[in-house]
Amino acid sequence: MLETMAELPHLLAAAIVIVIEWLIPLPFKYSPLRLCALLADAIALKVNKPGTERQRRISGFMSLLTYFVFVAVIVWSLLFVMPYDIWTEAVLLYISISYHSVSKVNKALEEALANKQNTLAKDYLSETASFDTKRLSSLGLTKGALEIEINAWVTTWLMPVVLFIALGGLASLAYRVLDIVTKQWLALNPKYSDFGLPITAIKTSFDWLLSALIAPIFSVFKSSPGWWSLFQRHKNKWPAEQSLIDLVWMSIVAAGCRIEMAGPTMFNDVKVPRLRINEGQKPNHGAIAQLRHWLARFTVFLLILILLFWFIGNFQN
């Protein structure tokens, strides 16, 4: 196994890209993948129309196929005129991960909350949130930032990196393309209810295996007693419009940071009910820094592990 890994340069390439993205993160609004979000919005504008639940779900699935055909044609056209080597794959990984740009925004949000500047904090959160932020309290802002932080780390860092190591740069890119359309057609948003359910179900099926393997290990890097109990307690009442994977990771964060997570949210002034995880815990904006440091420790751990396997594979006698 080590020999096979040593023959592939993906381990070292992944380590290099991880460090570069940490030091020089690429905000999503400047990423080429922003075009995928615009494409998803354009398709939904034409197809996401009123109808029965079944009609809207079929429409959402067919729109997803259309979206992937468009993206596949664009990507194939670009790769047709350029070599598909490890350097190209490294570039694909770099544009597929964008967690640290989100983390920088949340760090500024945390500082605004510490200075009692809630309006400024709402402006920061609105840069990365898909939900309404104008009516949020300090607790709501903290919970929103934590939810966005853990989701960004899982979907725009962890999954693309693991897929890059296992399957290459195109796999990382394909996952992010899937993640982007899931967020653009967020089924929890009443505007995309039913229409966004097929893509939510598809993405959840992709996320389960990795989350089942890594989430328990991640929880050890900060004491998170009872997170599995929180998940078990809420899973049957968790909205079908939101992935159970989100509940897994938010349960870990709620237990580790000792704070309430989730709860009702707003989209275009429409209130969407949602369970509160770890209900009743006092608000604490310091939890944002706790989670950021927690994620940093685990990221460093994975980086060292990647380099260790690469070193052993290349320099063993």
pTM over 0.85: yes
Report helix, strand or coil for 270.
strand
161 Cβ neighbours under 8 A, 6+ residues apart: 14, 18, 93, 97, 172, 302
CA 111 to chain centroid, in Å, comes to: 23
Query: Across the chain, what does the average pLDDT equal?
Result: 91
CB-based contacts of 307, cutoff 8 Å, min separation 6: 11, 12, 15
| Helical axes 53-80 vs 169-184, angle rounded to 10° | 150
Q: What is the pLDDT, as a whole number, of residue 57?
A: 95
Q: What is the pLDDT of residues 137-146, one digit of tens each?
A: 888 999 999 9
Q: What is the pLDDT of residue 224?
A: 87
Query: For residue 31, what are the contacts with CB-CB under 8 A and spacing of at least 6?
Result: 95, 98
Decide if pLDDT at 84 tops 90. Answer: no
Alpha carbon of 178 to those of 26, 72, 122: distances in Å?
19, 12, 28
Contacts of 40 (CB under 8 A, 6+ apart): 67, 180, 181, 184, 185
Type and span of the H or E element at 131: none
What's the pLDDT score for residue 5?
Answer: 42
Least confident of 9-13, 15-19, 60-64, 280-284: 280-284
